[in-house]
Structure 1
């Protein structure tokens, strides 16, 4: 049994924390010196010279892996301040061109490599079979198993061709849930056969494409017992049975689906025991106003110390942690030996234009400032605030009116405003019975010719609708171009 510093170094080799700020804090520097597996970048880390930050991390720990959630579309860290300029999964699914998807994956990988990071935490391999899904939605390629499978494989090939690792997520599939695991533990009502037939094939496709890592989901199902997949050995063992010999990464352990039930420390121990290899601890800014000045260090220490204690007590087998650390080190070695990709022509706007769908007859639309009535839901923790830039791009200098569709407050006034000058309604969920659909119908009762721009999942709605399925700058520009072409 290793003791003291040796045991701490072993445990550090399976931890992947976030941290505060755009410089290496002292606690993180010490952990990197002592074998930390790496770090995960979030938007709040990228305010300074990120390439220099990455270089400092790698100087302290040459095999440290820097991960980042850079999916394109609605989820970006690199372009939080402006909105993503890379096609998202739903746009690529609509286009259904695997060459375009592989090229997009390569572009994402190239951008991540350019800032010195090593792991793209993507692609999303979930099959979004529940249109109510509040956390996946347009982050998925679609609701067809075959489509998601072929595009997942293409994205993996593209990302890893750029010399960085891909991390397909969220095993065994987060697409048939209507609860956000950032806030609660989603429960599937599917049978095991339905999961195996509809939701596992994209992960098999990722494995066959050579994906280096796969991220788990904090979801449960009655036939698995009460434990979420991240902590469930029966679920994670299926990955190994499917031939995956890479790194199993947990989704963030500070998400409520794990934190509220087991705590970060308890979740860390259970995840390792279940077969996970690399523990993503999470974003220390997630508590919001409740965040402590040293939240990053606290979260890291809670996970580290809980694992050390569990090994010493015999609750967690030393051999399991050693096996996890070996897998992580092997992946780190493979990434650091990479041959990074070079610049290549990439026409993101052409892909985004191909993803636009127009329903109904569009009225004449002038290239001038436009009033945008924004009915969309608030962003989830998975999606950065760059979603606000969708409205800005569509408005082109015009007024933005943000309404809470569920309350209905202000809808009548917005409808009168829409009837007076060039206006559009911005939505991301207009399925029948939804608050946005009701608000849109109310606005159209006063302004029947108004156009809806839908950046969510496609849905039938009366009247003129331009669908550009991503909350991104790229998707907004494509939608406005479609309006102007009319």
Structure 2
């Protein structure tokens, strides 16, 4: 499907003209077009239908974020991106959360390791090459903006949303690998976007569901959360904001809506001149407390360049209408809006949304396999059962996708893979609280517990299998009272590295990238 080239921008209105026009229909139409320039939306499915294309044109939208619902295969994705660019023009920004590990929407390319697997390997050149390969995947289909890398310093082991998405819990480690990731993206011609500014690593709440707060002092924030962001700003084309309150900077508003944070700190004190994009305004941290339209205006007033208005068309329209009215009645400075539009155009021109069909994402499979293997980490001196022996595998029957993360490996698949090494008897559970550990261990065969869920499970605290296979949340190794092997992810490449270790064919060379 193809679409006509985009319509030209409406001419900018001066402040005097805005005041004279007040809220006339003509003014609202002009400002609605410019409002669309400051808004990123998502689209319903894997093709660009006529109604959605008309909406993008009508509002002058130039930025779209893609999700799993938009992804079928490489040819389809390339066609979708071409159609989006035909509608949105050469300033099109087409984005995806393509971090590695659990945060990968396409399932038809080799899977890159999670950030924490790379932190455990602690080879910055490897991190650079992995991120260059990640970006090449996107460029092959015409996606020009990746919402990665994560620069959160994951100092809270109970963090429900970051975990293995971070490089680790140490500032130097995160900064070292964050810089390598930025360099890899730039080399491949895809815009990176560091997140979640000013830092999501010390939260115990998930901003998808609630409004977290980080109560550290400014001095503590400078030493920890802020440090990687500030150090890497010279090589950072874009920053994504966090829906988190930092009372040391602003006791009232989350960073996304805070002028002291976005304009005072990031623009003023640190001198950042790149793009500031909000995280999704549909997350409950914002939607439940401020409402979509008003929150979009507040984010732009705070200093954001682009408001991520995701979700139903009505929610997108509410944001667009609110921003258009705020531009028309003077609550938003037109000059600031033009500066934001210029930053967004510069980003799109530097990293154009044009597919490079000469790239072969499959060629990076050996690199990703090697990177997963280098991150494999032993904890408490684990010893693998003898290949060919009988074992009892205990694993969760099925783990569905949740928020940003994709579905994990199921118990039957894991048992089938382990059957290439052992004689496997499977105990699949739905709720770990239902497990009878005394009965499991009475058989006298080694019990291997595989943890495959995003969240740590309280029912597993203190249990004592013979070996723990930590295939997702690495902090589960702190709960289970057993030697462990940590993969920092459940993807096939991670499981292949684990199987090689179990067969005695490979070591676990990684180093735990967080305290214990």
Q: Residue in 1 aligned with 2:514? A: none
CA contact (8 A) 1:134 1:178 kept: yes
The counterpart of 1:165, out of the listed 188, 191, 197, is 191
Q: Does 1:16 align with 2:32?
A: no
Q: Does 1:306 align with 2:338?
A: no
Distance 2:213 2:70 in 1: 33
Q: Does 1:61 align with 2:88?
A: yes
**Alpha carbons of 1:245 and 1:376: their partners in 2 closer, same or farther (altered >3 Å)?**
farther
Residue 206 (structure 1) shift: 2.8
Q: Does 1:360 align with 2:357?
A: no
The counterpart of 2:481, out of the listed 446, 452, 462, is 462
The counterpart of 2:240, out of the listed 202, 209, 215, is 215
CA contact (8 A) 2:376 2:486 kept: yes
Name the SS for the 1:262 alignment partner.
Answer: coil
Q: Residue in 1 aligned with 2:338? A: 322
- Return 5+ residue gaps in structure 1 as ranges: 285-294
Q: Residue in 1 aligned with 2:470? A: 453
Distance 2:274 2:456 in 1: 43
CA contact (8 A) 2:156 2:203 kept: yes
Residue 33 (structure 1) shift: 2.5
Q: Does 1:32 align with 2:53?
A: no
Distance 2:414 2:140 in 1: 26
Q: Residue in 1 aligned with 2:289? A: 261
Residue 27 (structure 1) shift: 3.8
Q: Does 1:113 align with 2:139?
A: yes
Residue 474 (structure 1) shift: 2.2
Distance 1:218 1:279 in 2: 13
**Alpha carbons of 1:373 and 1:428: their partners in 2 closer, same or farther (altered >3 Å)?**
closer
CA contact (8 A) 1:141 1:148 kept: yes
- Return 5+ residue gaps in structure 2 as ranges: 1-12, 19-26, 506-516
Q: Deviations over 1:44-67 (max 9, x none)?
A: 110251111111111122221110
**Alpha carbons of 1:418 and 1:426: their partners in 2 closer, same or farther (altered >3 Å)?**
farther
Q: Residue in 2 aligned with 1:287? A: none
Q: Deviations over 1:116-138 (max 9, x none)?
A: 11101000010000010000000
The counterpart of 2:71, out of the listed 43, 46, 53, is 46
Residue 351 (structure 1) shift: 1.5
Q: Does 1:274 align with 2:302?
A: yes
The counterpart of 1:74, out of the listed 92, 102, 110, is 102
Residue 324 (structure 1) shift: 1.6
Q: Deviations over 1:57-114 (max 9, x none)?
A: 11122221110000001211112x89x6211100000111000000011011000111
**Alpha carbons of 1:28 and 1:212: their partners in 2 closer, same or farther (altered >3 Å)?**
farther
CA contact (8 A) 1:163 1:339 kept: no
Q: Does 1:401 align with 2:401?
A: no
Distance 1:463 1:276 in 2: 47
**Alpha carbons of 1:180 and 1:367: their partners in 2 closer, same or farther (altered >3 Å)?**
farther
Which 10-residue stretch deviates more, 334-343 or 36-45? 334-343
Name the SS for the 1:347 alignment partner.
Answer: helix
Distance 1:74 1:433 in 2: 18
Which 10-residue stretch deviates more, 311-320 or 180-189? 311-320
Distance 1:101 1:203 in 2: 18
Distance 2:85 2:457 in 1: 51
Distance 2:176 2:61 in 1: 35
- Structure number with greater Rg is 2
CA contact (8 A) 2:31 2:328 kept: no
CA contact (8 A) 1:365 1:422 kept: no
Distance 2:189 2:373 in 1: 28
TM-score (norm 2): 0.82
Residue 222 (structure 1) shift: 2.2
Q: Deviations over 1:327-378 (max 9, x none)?
A: 1122112112889695676521122111112233222244999844129986
TM-score (norm 1): 0.86
Distance 1:276 1:85 in 2: 32
Q: Residue in 1 aligned with 2:22? A: none
Q: Residue in 1 aligned with 2:23? A: none
CA contact (8 A) 2:144 2:351 kept: yes
